[in-house]
Amino acid sequence: MEIGKVVVMGVLVLLLGLSGWSAASDPRHRRSKSVFPEPAPSSLINIVRSSLVFPLYGNVFPMGCCRYYYVTLNIGQPPKPYFLDPDTGSDLTWLQCDAPCVRCTKAPHPLYRPNNDLVICKDPICASLHPPDHKCEHPQQCDYEVEYADGGSSLGVLVRDSFPLNFTSGLQLVPRLALGCGYDQIPGPSSHPLDGVLGLGKGKSSIVSQLHDQGVIRNVVGHCVSSRGGGFLFFGDDLYDSSRVVWTPMSRDQHAHYSSGYAELIFAGKTTVSKNLQVTFDSGSSYTYLNSLAYQSLVHLVRRELSDKPLREALDDQTLPLCWRGRRPFKSIRDVKKFFKPLALSFADGRRSKIHYDIPLEGYLIISMKGNVCMGILNGTEAGLQDFNVLGDISMQDKMVIYDNEKYLIGWTPANCDRLPKFKAAIL
């Protein structure tokens, strides 16, 4: 859904009155009673080797469904289901919220009704969302605003609520976690009809970081999206064999995103002029983005490769910026394998000279509804990403991609993403 996220702070206020919610500083808000009783606190224990696994639904390009992936989380007391965009490009999890809502977009479920458990301004999770010199004008609550590179945003307050969780060890826990009660949403052009966002970034406010701080799981998050649609998301480190994963260090220059070291673009097994690309892994982006110079270089290479092939650019197909038609409509990527070349990103490694992240044809091409083949790598500079390069869902299909926030590593390995894992051997 989003690309290249940035977090800034909110300016509107929700205050908890004796009879419920109010916003004394904003006449647009009316009072709204809390509807959920306070549950008893969970008894959390230290879990060393257990994980959480969630099914993913959707796909990169519509196969009767979505053009995005989403996960279902049960939240509240009693728990209710919500469809969330799993986004490694941002930290905060938020739901469209009846506090009441000033502006909310179409969603598959009724708006989240907040309880009366506000996160205070001096809470470390709140502090992580604000600059160091932030002053608490309303100490009993934490305001937030999340802005995304596509122009979308969510504004609200932080609350705590119950998250019923079933671990791979068989244990069931109901930790209380902080999330955003978003009462004012501005949708971006790439927004989807979902209940909110599941922030999976490195920050203290992310759900994974909160579970880790409570001693529940390792601070590791990963996903596996299938080229046939669906997949799974996981928290924890007991679902993969680390020795069979290709690892690269997280960049020390990018504290807010899952970014690798510098990479070189490989085309058809050969080096290119596109070097020193800092790549951000972003599950919230359906497509992959290169900065303008790297994008133009890739387009030149692809066009040169196709110059003597029976394909012509399909200028009337607006599915993506670049599409080609053949002599007859294409039905699948298999139909174009003899025309296009695979890509790869080559990373320098401190222990080895080079490691490769392979991008097969399915990792950057789609077949449009018109039967044309289109390139799912876009110009990031034109999309407002400046010099950033974003690896989106299309290029992460049929791989388990892992973000280890304890060892500061990003890893990947080919995997069967069609079935939920039960143990290590089932997915590698």
Which two structure tokens, joined as six digits, stand for 87?
């986004």
Which amino acid does the sequence have at 294? A
The single residue listed with the structure tokens 């890893």 is 411
Cβ atoms within 10 Å of 160's Cβ, excluding its own: 18
Q: Answer whether 86's CB lies under 8 Å from 233's CB.
A: yes
Catalytic pick from 143, 237, 282, 404? 282
Which two structure tokens, joined as six digits, stand for 306?
């196709």
State the pairing for strand pair 165-166/176-186: unpaired
| Dihedral over Cα of 229, 227, 378, 206: its sign | positive
Q: Answer whether 159's CB lies under 8 Å from 178's CB.
A: yes
Q: Answer whether 13's CB lies under 8 Å from 181's CB.
A: no
Q: Is 87 a catalytic residue?
A: yes
DSSP symbols for 367-422: E-TTS-EEE-EEETTTTT-TT-EEE-GGGGBTEEEEEETTTTEEEEEE---SS--S
Q: Answer whether 159's CB lies under 8 Å from 15's CB.
A: no
* CA atoms of 255 and 128, how far apart (whole Å): 12
Which amino acid does the sequence have at 120? I
* CA atoms of 136 and 49, how far apart (whole Å): 39
The single residue listed with the structure tokens 């955003």 is 180
The CA-based angle 148-218-354, given to 5 degrees, is 70
**Which DSSP symbol is given to 29?**
-
Radius of gyration of the chain (CA): 22
Q: Is 282 a catalytic residue?
A: yes
Catalytic pick from 85, 87, 184, 237? 87
Q: Answer whether 94's CB lies under 8 Å from 181's CB.
A: yes
145: part of which helix (H) or strand (E)?
A: strand 143-147
300: part of which helix (H) or strand (E)?
A: helix 292-306
Which two structure tokens, joined as six digits, stand for 51?
């994980």
Q: Answer whether 400's CB lies under 8 Å from 418's CB.
A: no
For 338, residues 6+ apart whose C-beta sits below 8 A from its C-beta are none
Omega within 30 of 0 (cis) for the link into 100? yes
Residue numbers annotated as active site: 87, 282
